[in-house]
Amino acid sequence: MKAPQIIAAETESPASRYVNREMSWLAFNSRVLAEAEKDRYPLLERLRFLSISGSNLDEFTMIRIAGLEGQASRGIESPGIDGASPREQLRAIRAEVLALEDRQQAVLTELRARLAEQGIEIADVSQLPEIPRDWLRDYFETDILPLITPQAIDPSHPFPFVANSGMGVLFALEREHGGELMEMVLIPSGVARFLRVPGEVAVYVAIENLIVSFAHLLFQGFRIKGSGVFRVLRDSDIEVEEEAEDLVRVFRSAIQRRRRGRPVLLELDENCDPEAEALLREEFDVASAMVIKTEGMIGLRHLEAICAEPRADLKFAPFSPRYPERVLEHEGDCFAAIREKDIVVHHPYESFEVVVDFVTQAAHDPAVVSIKQTLYRAGDQSPIIAALIEAAQAGKAVTAVVELKARFDEERNLKWASELERAGVQVIYGFVEWKTHAKVSLVVRREDEGYRTYCHFGTGNYHPVSAKIYTDLSYFTADPAYGRDAAKLFNFVTGYVEPHDLERLAVSPLTLRETLYALIDTEIENARAGRPSGIWAKLNALTEKGIIDRLYEASQAGVEITLVVRGICSLRAGVPGLSETIAVKSVIGRFLEHSRIWAFANGAPLPSRTARVFITSADAMGRNFDRRVELLVPITNPTVHDQVLDQVMLANILDTERSWRLDADGVYRRMAIGSDDDGAGFNCHAYFMANPSLSGRGAAIEDKAVPRLSLRNRTA
């Protein structure tokens, strides 16, 4: 395939052409944090966004910062896409992380004050009245003291091991009869971070604050000179050697090693005792790690627990997903509905229960002979797993491809794999060097005309909890061509049989990249020939250099390109001579945008019936094209094609209320809420919550029951 012919921009440095991946990710988390700063959001929703920002930053530290530090420590100078070395990236990252930490603490300070006015306090024990203090003291003596273990630190008691994400308190003590001592109290990982004091007013106390406040009950016979709360994050990436003989055993061992990974971040409270701080810095060898001293609270990810407080007045108005109308029209029979016509379901606006019902019905249906299912992240309580177990126990042939390399879900997936195997499911772990990230379920059913294959293709995981907050697409079809391709995909994963002569699907790491390259090249050729051209894409991340370079070439050929990229984007948009016809935006709001869609004009202005539309499990990243098994699924059914292109894709492009625009200087700026001609904004999340089921919109749109979306009319 021909390489893209890029016209030289004014400046040829990599930094002028590409945005550093890590800095783009930090910009994404800054946008998430901005949701917590939004004054018009309900207070507990703002607190939730703050906890998400903290959780995101933790994972970034444990994976991305850890990886760069590992490269720097080994003398590896391989540059990022923008030409920056690992050390240069680390310097920029540290400055941005510190700025984010300061913003997070400022938001927490504001929210604590605002929530207290509404009867929800995140309190310090020392500031509480006598009655709740007495209750907390009793609770500490009866419930906490038996759980915690003070550990002296001296020549005969070496510094204790602190696991990844571990939190503790280091105390500087003085004996009543002379002599000083350091003692550590590690907070057990199974203990809830926040304790709610009984009463009408919701008072929450952090467990570390409780331990510090009543430490004198633990260290009787000592004077407490000072203390310091700390938390440690460690390198958490898991690497698997290609020659691994037993993948399950390797991962069980790797999960244990991750607990003991190299320290990457040491967080300390601002008032940490100087002796305690010196000891912590020495023991955790933080010369190669970041140290952050925080005036407020460390470990903000745990604030999510407080968001469960039953205060509807401080949360978004409740929303109940609708069950797909097309399936209801067939009295809940998924197979009958799919057999009549292909169906697309838009989560979370339409219930994930239809996916569960698809697999559950297959498990119970005596006509079903076989089920094949990929599992990447399935959650703690998975109805999909339960249905597969039922199917196997009913004597059906059930195959589950369980991906052990799903980051931070490895232990849970090992558990599911064990349960599935005990039930008689044929469990496959996929490839050693690649992750199986494709989302597909294949059901073979014996019918009057012979065997018929039903398929589900998704952009998101088979995870019932995340499906309530992630926007994703589920595509159901009984088209035999899709079934034949899906069967070949499973043969590839289970038996290494490469799929040849695929009729519909493109599969990475075999053909997906080349397929996208060719589709972009066609738009370039159309533009140069004076034919209509255009590209729309909705992704979570865009970092693959080949895709970016082709999009640059397309822009220089005159192709109008609109990209909705929620997170990382290494492409520079709107740069004269390079990308001036490319617009990039990011939608951040109540729901996490997760669906991946590509649309190519194909000789007619977008949107049109002749456009080529695809959904995919893959983002435009090197790892998705080279180190993962992914699917690119063409949408050929006319009704589904229009629903995906004219509704889902177009609504994201038209959104102004939840959108950030990436400008030519590389900075994201909020789009004006009233950016339309009549001064009204458009909120794609509100639009989909308010309108009828996507699976029934073919008739609804014709009857004008659903507002038509148009590039000319941006109000709905």
Q: Which of 302, 347, 437, 685 is catalytic?
A: 437
Sign of CA dihedral 59, 61, 62, 66: positive
Q: What is the Cα–Cα distance from 454 to 613, expressed in whole angstroms? A: 21
**Nearest CA-CA partner of 579 in 3, 6, 184, 33:** 6
Q: What is the Cα–Cα distance from 622 to 628, expressed in whole angstroms? A: 9
The set of residues, in sequence order, having a beta carbon less than 8 Å from that of 601 and lying 6+ positions away, is: 523, 526, 532, 533, 534, 535, 608, 611
Residue whose tokens read 């797993």: 385
What three-state secondary structure class fits 507?
A: strand
Cβ pair 398, 426 in contact under 8 A: yes
| Residues forming a β-bridge with 444 | 370, 453
Q: Give residue 501's region: left, alpha or beta (phi > 0; psi -120 to 50).
A: left
For residue 459, give the DSSP letter: S
The set of residues, in sequence order, having a beta carbon less than 8 Å from that of 279 and lying 6+ positions away, is: 153, 159, 170, 182
| CA distance to 31, 49, 93, 387, 452, per residue, from 360 (Å) | 39, 34, 46, 5, 17
What are 228's two structure tokens? 């310091």
Work out the angle between the directed axes of helices 43-60 and 86-117 (0-180°, nearest 10).
Answer: 160
What are 619's two structure tokens? 């983002």
pLDDT of residue 698: 52
Cβ pair 472, 458 in contact under 8 A: yes
Backbone angles phi, psi at 513, to 5 degrees: -60, -50
Q: What is the Cα–Cα distance from 278 to 286, expressed in whole angstroms? A: 11
Can you give the pTM of this predicted structure?
Answer: 0.91
**Nearest CA-CA partner of 361 in 402, 330, 325:** 330
Cβ pair 599, 535 in contact under 8 A: yes
| DSSP alpha helix (H) spans, 214-364 | 215-218, 247-259, 274-283, 325-328, 334-340, 353-364
What are 553's two structure tokens? 């070439």
pLDDT of residue 249: 57
Question: What are the per-10-residue average pLDDT scores of the chain (716 residues)?
Answer: 51 86 96 96 97 95 88 85 92 93 96 97 93 94 95 88 92 88 92 93 96 95 94 75 48 53 89 92 76 91 96 94 92 96 95 95 97 83 89 94 70 80 89 90 96 96 87 97 98 94 96 98 98 98 98 98 98 96 97 96 95 97 95 96 95 95 94 58 92 63 61 49
The set of residues, in sequence order, having a beta carbon less than 8 Å from that of 575 and lying 6+ positions away, is: 9, 16, 664
pLDDT of residue 414: 78
What three-state secondary structure class fits 238?
A: coil
pLDDT of residue 409: 59
pLDDT of residue 463: 82
What are 237's two structure tokens? 């990436």
Report angle CA 76, 77, 81 to the nearest 5 degrees: 125
Locate the DSSP E strands across 107-221. Answer: 120-123, 150-153, 167-175, 180-186, 194-197, 202-206
What are 332's two structure tokens? 């809940």
Q: What is the Cα–Cα distance from 452 to 360, expressed in whole angstroms? A: 17
Q: What is the Cα–Cα distance from 455 to 438, expressed in whole angstroms? A: 13
Q: What is the H or E stretch that residue 538 is in? A: strand 535-539
Domains and CATH numbers, the chain: 12-118 (1.20.58.310), 122-307 (3.30.1840.10), 325-501 (3.30.870.10), 507-702 (3.30.870.10)
pLDDT of residue 693: 66
The set of residues, in sequence order, having a beta carbon less than 8 Å from that of 241 and lying 6+ positions away, is: 250
**Nearest CA-CA partner of 360 in 376, 371, 351:** 371
pLDDT of residue 78: 85
What are 511's two structure tokens? 């053909």
pLDDT of residue 242: 43
Active-site residue flag, 437: yes
**Nearest CA-CA partner of 314 in 152, 115, 462, 532:** 115
| Chain centroid, CA 498 distance in Å | 30
pLDDT of residue 240: 45
Exposure string for 7-30, b = 16+ CB within 10 A, e = fewer: eebeeeeeeebbbbbbbbbbbbbb
Residue whose tokens read 């994400």: 165
